[in-house]
Amino acid sequence: DAGITQSPRHKVTETGTPVTLRCHQTENHRYMYWYRQDPGHGLRLIHYSYGVKDTDKGEVSDGYSVSRSKTEDFLLTLESATSSQTSVYFCAISPVEPSNIQYFGAGTRLSVL
Amino acid sequence: AQTVTQSQPEMSVQEAETVTLSCTYDTSESDYYLFWYKQPPSRQMILVIRQEAYKQQNATENRFSVNFQKAAKSFSLKISDSQLGDAAMYFCAYRSAKGAQKLVFGQGTRLTINP
C-alpha cells in the first residue's frame, strides 16, 4: 500500500465551524490531490498541489482552501463548514512520471449538521 | 473540459459469468490515460487497470480486460469469471498526459455478484 494517511477518518461538526483535514504521505511524491465523493457524481477534484507552496483549484473549490508547507503534508480547510460539504474526502498522491498512477488514501467521512 | 460518462448506475452478474461495464469520455486531446478503479465497501480506491491512449493494444490484468475504442471514445471493462470479491463500485477515469495529471471520474457503476 502507498504510504498515505488521512486524518481524521470520521468527523461530525456543526454548520459554521472551521474544519481541517490532513493528508500525510511517506512516498515523497510531488503531486497531491483532494477529491470529494458524492452519490451520482463520482469523485470530483477540489484542489491539488504540484509542489511545496504550489497549489491550484480544481472543479469544486468554492468554500475550500489548502496549504502545503512540507512535501509530505497537504491540508484541506473548510473555513466555515456548510451542510453541502457533507461528503467523503479522499487524498491522492502521484509521482511526476507521465505514466504514473494516483494512489488514494482511505478517505475521511465528514458530516456537517 | 474533459468529461467521463458511465451510463450504467448498477449492474449485476452471476458468479463465474462475464460482465462488461461501459464508459465513454469526451476530449479534444490525443495523448491521455484511462483507468478503471474499484471501490469495495471498505471505501478504498483500488486501481484495476490502466490504458495508454497511444497504445492500440487493449490492456489486460488477469480476469480484467478493456475494450479501448479511441475513435469512438469508448473504454469498457470486461470482468471474466466473476467472483464474489468483485462486488464493488467501479469508476472510469481520464487523465491528460499533460499538466498536473488530474483525474476526471465518471459517476460510477455498482456491480453486484449473484452467487
Percentage with pLDDT > 70 across chain A: 96
| C-alpha cell recorded at residue A16 | 459554521
Which one-letter amino acid corresponds to residue A52? V
**What was the pLDDT predicted at A1?**
57
Q: How far is B47 from chain A (nearest CA, A)?
A: 8
Q: Which helix (H) or strand (E) holds B58?
A: none
Please list, in sequence order, all residues whose beta carbon lies within 8 angstroms of the beta carbon of residue B28, skipping any fewer than 6 positions away: none
- What is the per-residue pLDDT for A99? 63
Provide the residue type at B66 as one letter.
V
The per-residue pLDDT for range B31-40, each reduced to its tens digit, is: 999 999 999 9
Q: Which of A33, A42, A100 sits opposite B108 (nearest CB)?
A: A42
What is the per-residue pLDDT for B86? Answer: 97
Tell me, what's the pLDDT at B62? 95
> Tell me, what's the pLDDT at A97?
73
The 3-state DSSP class for residue A39 equals coil
In the structure, what pLDDT confidence band is assigned to residue B19 with cuts at 50, 70 and 90? very high
Report which secondary-structure segment, H or E, holds B111: strand B109-114
Q: How far is A18 from chain B (nearest CA, A)?
A: 25
How many whole angstroms from its chain centre is CA A46? 7
Q: Could you say which DSSP state residue A61 is in?
A: -
| Alpha-carbon span B72 to B85, nearest angstrom | 31
Residue A62 has pLDDT above 80, yes or no: yes
**pLDDT interval class at B76 (50, 70, 90):** very high
Taking residues A5-11, report their average pLDDT. Answer: 97
Query: Which residue(s) pair with B34 in the sheet?
Result: B51, B94
At residue A2, the pLDDT reads: 67
Give the pLDDT confidence score for residue B99 in this predicted structure: 77
Segment A89-109, tens digit of pLDDT = 999 999 877 667 899 999 999
Other C-beta atoms lying within 10 Å of the C-beta of residue B15: 13
Q: Give me the mean pLDDT over the B49-53 stretch.
A: 94
Which chain B residues in 66-85 lie under 8 Å from chain A, judged by CB atoms?
none
Query: CA nearest A109: which of A29, A45, A21, A43?
Result: A21
Asked if A30 contacts A48 with a C-beta cutoff of 8 angstroms, the reply is no
**Is pLDDT of A36 > 80?**
yes
pLDDT band at A63 (very low <50, low <70, confident <90, very high): very high
